[in-house]
Structure 1
Amino acid sequence: MKLGPALLFCPADRPDRFAKALERSDGVILDLEDAVAPSARDAARAALRDTPLDPTRVIVRVNAPGTADFEADLAAVRDAGYGTVMVAKADARMPVLDGLRVVALCETAAGVLDARDLARRPEVIALMWGAEDLVASLGGTASRDAAGRYRDVVRHARSAVLLAAAAEGIAAIDAVHLAIDDLDGLRAEAEDAVASGFTATACIHPSHVAVIRDAYRPSPEEVARARRILDAAATQGGVFRLDGRMVDAPVLRHAEAVLRRA
């Protein structure tokens, strides 16, 4: 399936929102975990089975391995005909999930440290990270400082998951921005995500989709420059100068990335 750029979470116990969430985003994450109260999870699994969507644009977040809901969630996913799951609180103890594509959500200390091992598993197509559960697993109380910036350990986890995904050639998904009305903060984080190499950004509100898409979409000036670089490389060869800047192999790869996003 194509991941991103804007992946919208939707509670799995709200089937009335399923189609709208998919219509408004590049892909929907139907959430059987944190967005659903434990008492409502049986109904959420039933809604998953009874409210079909395009399976090529759906990820189902299932509860963590070892929990009482994990196997029931997987059975509902298979019954509903979906092929991609996001495994909450994934780490190296995650069982093999034959026949499913897996987005491993590295949101605990163990999960972040195991990110490279998870990325090497054949069923894992992407890694995602999460700040709030990570800080909880550390015994902390806040992922951000008083100025709203991620704490150092959280930034380290974000980088570690991105590096692990890139090292194994799979997608990396950036975490949600929890402040729903802070579109400027969301925009800054999404712009940093795409510049750093993330494939997609997850979000929790439909208003975030357009902001994320705009951040991932190269500007006309960026596209024009990328094309000029690659056109020049076709005739120059090796290292050369363009517009006062050196162009070498990494810069060519940057230009290719811009055109892929365009």
Structure 2
Amino acid sequence: MTALRGPALLFCPADRPDRYPKAMAAADTVIVDLEDAVASRDRPAARQALLGTPLDPERTIVRVNPAGTEDHSLDLEAVRRTAYRRLMVAKSESAADLGELGEWEIVALCETARGVVNAAEIAAVPSVVALMWGAEDLVASLGGYSSRGPGGGYRDVARTARAQVLLAAGAHGRAAIDAVYLDIKDLDGLAAETEDAVASGFAHKACIHPGQVETVRRGFAPGPDRVEWAQRVLAAGAERGVVRVEGQMVDAPLLAQAKRILDRSDL
């Protein structure tokens, strides 16, 4: 399995091929969306656009409609005629939803109550390379109307789902993708949420607008102080056991964190 490119993933409506190259120029990986971004009546044209406007397959994911729907089968027929080998499966709810998709690398989008509850089962599917969670469809599946409280932060149910999907991904060695931030103009809020995602262990964050990409990239790039700390930890020889670095005891977990910080500094 190959790693997804870069921290910033950008959704692009499949029925807007004029936006494909712009999205590819802006983001690390483009998610060409055949599901929610496209009205049902426009999906046949969107599939034709997918076929007629090729992008770099190493930096492209195609989001297909949920398993068991007619659109899902038609989406797969279209993708088979392309060079794309990564699918994002909307509303993934069980291993059975993904069992017949072994020819592709799968990003499972856990965005319903059932999908979140079964996240560990989904992450264990061999073809799954990453898990993403989604807040709005999740709350809708529960009969709610808002994933965020008056202050803009996630409600408890959304935070619980976010953590559960992250833990399931980590337990099975899969990458975790944080959900989109819907307020396009609120880059400060996006920056704060990205910082929390990085600190918690998410490998990527999805975007809905090119203007969000640089904020996400900056959030995943460690600041100079963190890079210097990581360099001091490695220079102190922490790989040989517990050492003291500027009054802090550093052992294997902190060594692993230091190595990840330096890895991200090269992005």
Instruction: Please give the TM-score of this superposition, normalised by the length of structure 2.
Output: 0.96
User: Between the two proteins, what is the percent identity of the paired residues?
Assistant: 59
- Structure 2 Cα separation of the partners of residues 55 and 233 of structure 1: 41
Does the C-alpha gap of structure 1 residues 95 and 168 become closer, same or farther in structure 2, counting only changes over 3 Å? Answer: closer
Aligned residue in 1 for 2:15:
13
1:80-229 equivalences under 5 Å are 80-92=82-94, 93-96=96-99, 97-229=101-233
Give the Å deviation of 1:240. Answer: 1.8
Q: How far 1:78 sits from its partner (Å)?
A: 1.4
| Structure 2 gap segments, 5+ residues each | none
The one-letter code of the counterpart of 1:31 is D
RMSD, aligned CA? 1.1
Q: For residues 20 and 205 of structure 1, what CA distance do their matches in structure 2 show?
A: 11
Does the Cα contact within 8 Å between 1:50 and 1:80 map onto a contact in 2? Answer: no
Shift of 1:98: 2.3
Decide whether the 8 Å contact of 2:15 with 2:38 is kept in 1: yes
Shift of 1:67: 1.3
CA distance in 2, matches of 1:193, 1:177: 12
From 27, 30, 46, the counterpart of 2:29: 27
| Mapped partners of 1:200, 1:58: distance in 2 | 14
Q: Is the 8 A contact 2:98 2:125 kept in 1?
A: no
Spell out, residue by residue over 1:177-222, the C-alpha distance to the aligned partner (whole angstroms, 9 max, x if none): 0001010000000010011110100000001000000000011221
AA matched with 1:24: A
Task: Give the AA of the match of 2:26.
Answer: R
Matched with 2:52 is 50
- Give the TM-score normalised by structure 1: 0.97
Residue 239 of structure 1, CA deviation: 1.4
State the secondary structure of the residue aligned to 1:172.
Answer: strand
Matched, 1:39 2:41: yes
**Structure 1 unmatched ranges of 5 or more:** none
